Amino acid sequence: MKLVAGNIFGFWMFLVVAIFTLVLINYSKSGKINITLRKIAGLEAIEESIGRATEMGKPIHFSPGLGDIIGATAAETFAALEVLSYVTRMSAKYNAELVVTIRQPNVFPLAQESVKQQYMAAGKSDMFKEDTVRFLSNQQVAYTTGVVGFMHREKVAANIMAGLYMGEALLLAEAGAQIGAIQVAITASMTQLPFFVAACDYTIIGEELFAAGAYLSQDRIKLGGIAAQDYIKLAVMATAVAGALLMSSGSNFLNRLLVK
């Protein structure tokens, strides 16, 4: 086998990154290294918001966003489902009513099974109802209207939104603000962040969505993966700085290396 010119450097970097990631995950899993993530106030507030809903005797609303489990939006959706698992565990712990609204048909069975399994693991299978996870519509406006109507009718005490959001972001957040719900928004949709910041109590920004599952579960394997990503980012930043310095000094060594 012969590597095509222009892909040699990328191939070897792929192997280095893969091996480094696996090693760090194994070290974390075995306890050889202890990985801690900085405190994220919005994620810490999820349990508080569920506790408040329990005290008020009102439901918690969770939305995994508008993304699908295929295509470019899959990563955000799966990250949102990780958050849903935690929210379900906390709801079971406090005996709080949870309602999950779904836009994408593909997401519905995954969300339903995730919620069901978490209730079973907590020994509270009876808390899972057929309408705990509700598919509203695959149309953006119809889904948004359904969620807003539900929140106003039920006067939810907590509104937790995680995943991909678009033009409906402010409508959902404003509806929650009008009824006085504690709102936690977790999204990598940078264009919608200003609306969430303005209308929500807590907003988790950008890549924090993808770290949320590891943060909430404290799973060593996931923490190892997060740490590996951070080290790789530092290496890329260092390479960019080194390349700029080399080019400024008249050397194009790094440029020649990258295009091999």
Of the pLDDT bands very low, low, confident and very high (cuts 50, 70, 90), residue 6 is low
195 and 177 part of one domain: yes
Residue 120 lies in a domain: yes
Residue 64 lies in a domain: yes
Q: Name the domain count of the chain.
A: 2
Q: Is the pLDDT of residue 255 over 80?
A: no
Q: Is the pLDDT of residue 161 over 90?
A: yes
pLDDT digits (tens, 9 = 90+) for 181-200: 999 999 988 888 899 999 99
Domain hosting 12: range is 8-34+220-258
Strands 133-135 and 98-102: parallel
203 and 74 part of one domain: yes
Encoded amino acid at 168, one letter: E
Residue 157 lies in a domain: yes
Q: Is the pLDDT of residue 37 over 80?
A: yes
Residue 2 lies in a domain: no
27 and 89 part of one domain: no
27 and 140 part of one domain: no
CA-nearest of 178, 184, 230, 179 to 36 is 230
Residue 121 lies in a domain: yes
Q: Give the pLDDT of residue 205.
A: 87
Q: Give the pLDDT of residue 251.
A: 80
Last residue in a domain, options 201, 217, 233: 217
Q: Give the pLDDT of residue 100.
A: 96
Strands 202-205 and 158-164: unpaired
User: Quick one: average pLDDT of 87-99?
Assistant: 93
100 and 25 part of one domain: no
91 and 129 part of one domain: yes
Q: Give the pLDDT of residue 254.
A: 75
Distance CA 115, CA 133 (A): 8
160 and 236 part of one domain: no
Q: CB of 96 within 8 A of CB of 50? A: yes
Arithmetic mean of pLDDT over the chain: 89
